[in-house]
Amino acid sequence: MQITFLGTAGNLGVISKFDHLSGGIIIKQDETQLHLDPGVGALANARKFEVNLRENTAILVSNSHLNRCSELNPVISAMTHEGLDPQGVLIVNPNNPLLLEKYRNFTERTMFAEPSKKIGVEEFTITPLKTTSESLGYKIEANNVVISYTGDTNYSTEVVDQYLRSNVLILNAANTFSQSGEGLNSGDIVTILKQIKPDLAVITHYGKSIIQNNPLYEAREIQKQSKVSVLAAKEGMRIDPTAYLGESRQRILQFITRKSTE
């Protein structure tokens, strides 16, 4: 299995002011390829990082904001050769105003995501998750690996309980420890990781304060406080989640022990 990040921007303000796009996340297992949230820069970064959108098996959308699905229609076009070869599954939030009927008809199947209602796509089991906003999260399972994506949400116990059993947790990081507002801050992420204890956490979809403070620094501090391995996503970053299964706790404990004796 492989996860590729085509963008890390959390909102349009970040895209306009910083060198970040929001092209989404690619999750691939064997011949099945999922494209999660094809926002600004999806096509450009797919070309740049050698991701073939024609190979998309399914497209998943978490909400109707431009930074999450502005390139939904072009990505469908790329997947289907502009409708000449209709294929693929579209999993989208209901009443998405950016989805054009023409492109919806290019796919083999369109499914409207509902929290807790499981969807099967080849070897993947996909479960939409609740958030505290109109957005959705997703739990994606294949080959005994469980990947959970928070979507745009604030902290709540009900939301966090959905991430149980996750091997990899991808979190939208909107704010630093000292900031609060819409979306998760780094303190929320520490709390979540202490509860869920995934093998790996990845922060992405950065807000302005995260970028100004350096995502790598935030990831290191979150890792230190949570004792979970944490990566800061970068555009083009590829990870094999199976490489982290069952190993992160030992590595982080070794890291903390070594730092405490230096």
6 and 205 Cβ atoms separated by less than 8 Å: no
Sheet holding 238-239, edge to edge: 109-112, 89-92, 58-60, 32-36, 22-29, 2-7, 238-239
Residues 34-75: pLDDT tens digits?
A: 999 999 999 999 999 999 999 999 999 999 999 999 999 999
* Domains of the chain, start order: 2-261 (3.60.15.10)
pLDDT of residue 247: 57
CB burial class (10 A; 0-12, 13-18, 19+) of residue 222?
A: buried
Residues 160-200: pLDDT tens digits?
A: 999 999 999 999 999 999 888 899 999 999 999 999 999 99
Average pLDDT over residues 20-32: 97
pLDDT of residue 101: 94
Q: Which residues, 6+ apart, have CB-to-CB distance to 50 below 8 Å?
A: none
CA 158/CA 115 separation, integer angstroms: 12
Residues 72-92: pLDDT tens digits?
A: 999 999 999 999 999 999 999
* Three-state secondary structure string covering 137-151: EEEEEECCEEEEECC
Average pLDDT over residues 200-226: 97
Q: Which residues, 6+ apart, have CB-to-CB distance to 140 below 8 Å?
A: 27, 34, 124, 125, 126, 127, 146, 147, 148, 149
Q: Is the pLDDT of residue 256 over 60?
A: no
Q: Is the pLDDT of residue 109 over 90?
A: yes
Q: SS3 of 246, please?
A: coil
